[in-house]
Amino acid sequence: MTLLQENNAQNERDLFFMREALKEAEKAFAKKEVPVGAVLVLENRIIARGHNQVEMLQDATAHAEMLCLSSASASLGNWRLAEAILYSTLEPCPMCGGAIFAARVKRVVWGASDLRLGAGGSWIDLFSIKHPMHQVEVCKGVLAEPAGLLLKDFFKKQRKEGKIEQSCYTQRA
């Protein structure tokens, strides 16, 4: 396979798995949770899925990515997720970014940017700081538009119902 073919294959895989993460985000939407979804992929196979459950669990740490990492570690019986790729519909926050480093995740791919809590450059840039032992590959803006639209729709609905005044999420890649 040439480098170009390899890149194309990677792009196809990224789109495929991000669509799966979007399905998780839609589940969150249906449950009136901020619609963020994630999947964790190992050897081209989804080993864990997660969607935001902050409201249901009344737990600020119940982000899609955290739930996904915990579930993968529990099912593998291993906290090290060194060869895994995490797909999230939203730019990870510093907490999830920290967990990504702690679990030694190889690569992280996300969709929409998060101006409020984004740790991939929107608020702070955790992934560009050189880590002494572990580097995480980053790919941003994959299916950013549908991921952002879902968030936009959600907050529009929330505003209509008088639940919030405004949101700081954007769909910008």
Q: Which residues contact Zn ion by CB under 5 A?
A: 63, 93, 95-96
Smallest gap, in angstroms, from Cβ of residue 8 to Zn ion? 30
Helix (H) or strand (E) holding 87: strand 85-90
| Whole-angstrom distance, CA of residue 81 vs CA of residue 74 | 11
If the CB atoms of residues 69 and 96 are measured against Zn ion, the closer one turns out to be: 96
Please answer whether residues 151 and 167 qualify as being in contact, where contact means their C-beta atoms are separated by less than 8 angstroms.
yes
The amino acid present at 64, given as its one-letter code, is A
Smallest gap, in angstroms, from Cβ of residue 96 to Zn ion? 3
Active-site hit among 65, 91, 145, 161:
65
> Hey, is 50 helix, strand or coil?
strand
Give catalytic status of residue 137 as yes or no: no
If the CB atoms of residues 13 and 141 are measured against Zn ion, the closer one turns out to be: 141
| Whole-angstrom distance, CA of residue 70 vs CA of residue 78 | 10
Smallest gap, in angstroms, from Cβ of residue 63 to Zn ion? 3
Active site residues: 65
